[in-house]
Amino acid sequence: MTPANLPLVPADASALPVHAVRPDGLELLLARLEPAQSAFLRAVKFAARPDEFHLLPGPTGIAGAVLGLGTRTDPLLFGALPHKLPEGVWRIEFTFATPDTLSPDPLGNNTAALGFCLGAYRYTEFKKPGRPPARLATPHAARAVSQARAIWMVRDLINAPANLIGPSELADAAIALGTTHGARTFRTTGADLDANYPTVAAVGRGSDRPAQVAGFRWQGSAAGADAPHVWLCGKGVVFDSGGYDLKPSAGMLRMKKDMGGAANILGLAAMIMDADLPIRLTAAIGCVENSVSGHAMRPMDIIRTRRGLTVEVGNTDAEGRLVLCDLLAEASDAAPALIIDCATLTGAARVAIGPDMPALFCNNDAIATHLLAAGTAVHDPLWRLPLWDGYDSWLDSPVADLNNVSSKAFAGAVVAGLFLRRFVPSSIPWIHLDMYAWNDTTRPGRPEGGEAMGIRALFSAIETHFRPN
């Protein structure tokens, strides 16, 4: 499937119904259904628990289906439907004892359509697809279509094998996205990269596939020259061998996903541009491959950054923060209203909070609170970790301004955040997401493979902050 091929069709009265019901609306639904269907649901003790699902019999076979919602309101409730329902066109019919309280979508159309699309996705570029998913007939789901397309794009980019998506191809994806939305695109390579993004160049020097920085500048139709400027930065390491500090073979098995931060930044940018938010937007991704060769950076090398700070390379496998630091320096020089970076940065973040939510670091408490609330509202959770000043000295180096790692075994995600903080003035609000960008197993709405994480929360926070009405 491609983002242009979402399993959604216009409203269709002939579509079979999926009755979505909460426990407090179950008796109302049973009274509305055909007697045989109500008797069947009573016989199987259907209680409208979350994800509880049954097909409903009819005179000619299947007449519909029923889906339990429990008390949840998240899109993932609908994620199993595309592959549980028989082929054909279906529609969602909600039954509530009280007025619909699905939040933030009062009618439920966008919530259901988004969850349905997230569950329908499969990466089939190199494998014969299985049975096509069912299709959903839904009105008024423009927001769901925009977000589903963005998330499918993110997943496709992460799932693509590293032999086919190198630095140049990832940069191409950024340029193509910007061009589609009428943005001014840019790409920096070669000597210009060495001069303007020396740490990006240093990370990519070990690969035969040259590093690049690519992105675009966009302005909403209602945004003037003084409109708030949001700057997005993404780590785009298309494959991470670890460099001379080589990863073990098992540690490389998912390293095609190390450009997940860049992919998520592009997905967030797509949502912002689709919604035509009244802001100015810059998106920049560092596209590199961390390989081993006679040209690769070595442990104890010293690199001069765009900011002028010197960095001792304590570990070549801590390359993501080197990719980001020049991008953050450039962003902060423009003094935007907000800087956001996304990266698959540390295993320590996964140890701390697991794979399903990004670790949030932020230098502004009000913005962090707003973002956490947005994540809760749209069911795209984040968890805040501290930029703890007491660990800042752990980055000290005897031969350079700082080291890219700490010699201590603790707080790896925090130390990485503190490294990045050196390149952003405290006066500029800054959000850093350390994410896994991957599903280890298939669950409703979350197929195994690359994943968009936190970007619906980020989009909601940006939208409500810069377009509050």
For 148-157, the pLDDT digits (tens) are 999 999 999 9
Q: Which percentage of the chain shows pLDDT scores above 70?
A: 97
Q: Is 321 a catalytic residue?
A: yes
Q: Please, which residues bridge with residue 92 across strands?
A: 18
pLDDT of residue 107: 42
Lowest mean pLDDT among 5-19, 198-212, 303-317, 437-451: 5-19
Render pLDDT for 110-143 as a digit per residue (tens, 0 to 9).
Answer: 899 999 999 999 999 999 888 999 999 988 889 9
Lookup: tokens for 301: 């090398």
Active-site pick, 72, 209, 247, 384: 247
Alpha helices in 334-364, H assignment, sequence order: 347-353
* Residue carrying structure tokens 């570990």: 315
Which element (helix H / strand E) includes 74?
A: none
Q: What totals of helices (H) and strands (E) does the chain contain, helices first?
A: 14, 19
b or e along 334-344 (b: 16 or more beta carbons within 10 Å of the residue's beta carbon)?
eebbbbbbbbb
457 pLDDT more than 70: yes
CATH superfamily for domain 3-138: Leucine Aminopeptidase, subunit E, domain 1 (3.40.220.10)
Count CA within 13 A, CB hemisphere, residue 226. Answer: 0
State yes or no: cis peptide before 104, omega within 30 of 0. Answer: yes
Q: Where in the chain is the domain with CATH 3.40.630.10?
A: 146-466
**pLDDT band per the 50, 70, 90 thresholds, residue 5:** confident
pLDDT of residue 99: 58
Secondary structure of residue 190 in the 3-state scheme = helix
Strands 449-450 and 302-304, sheet pairing: unpaired
Q: Where in the chain is the domain with CATH 3.40.220.10?
A: 3-138
Phi and psi of 384, rounded to 5°?
A: -85, 135
Render pLDDT for 141-191 as a digit per residue (tens, 0 to 9).
Answer: 899 999 999 999 999 999 999 999 999 999 999 999 999 999 999 999 999
> What is the CATH code of the structural domain delimited by 146-466?
3.40.630.10
101 pLDDT more than 60: no
429 pLDDT more than 80: yes
Average pLDDT over residues 359-377: 97
Strands 89-95 and 16-21, sheet pairing: parallel
Render pLDDT for 197-232 as a digit per residue (tens, 0 to 9).
Answer: 999 999 999 999 999 999 999 999 999 999 999 999
Q: Is 254 a catalytic residue?
A: no
104 pLDDT more than 80: no
Secondary structure of residue 203 in the 3-state scheme = helix
* Residue carrying structure tokens 């019999």: 57
Residue partners of 11: CB distance under 8 A and separation at least 6: 91, 137, 138, 139
Lookup: tokens for 72: 């949840």
Active-site pick, 22, 321, 446, 456: 321
Average pLDDT over residues 88-109: 70
pLDDT of residue 467: 75
464 pLDDT more than 50: yes
How far, in Å, are 44, 57, 139, 141 from residue 18 at the CA level? 17, 12, 15, 17
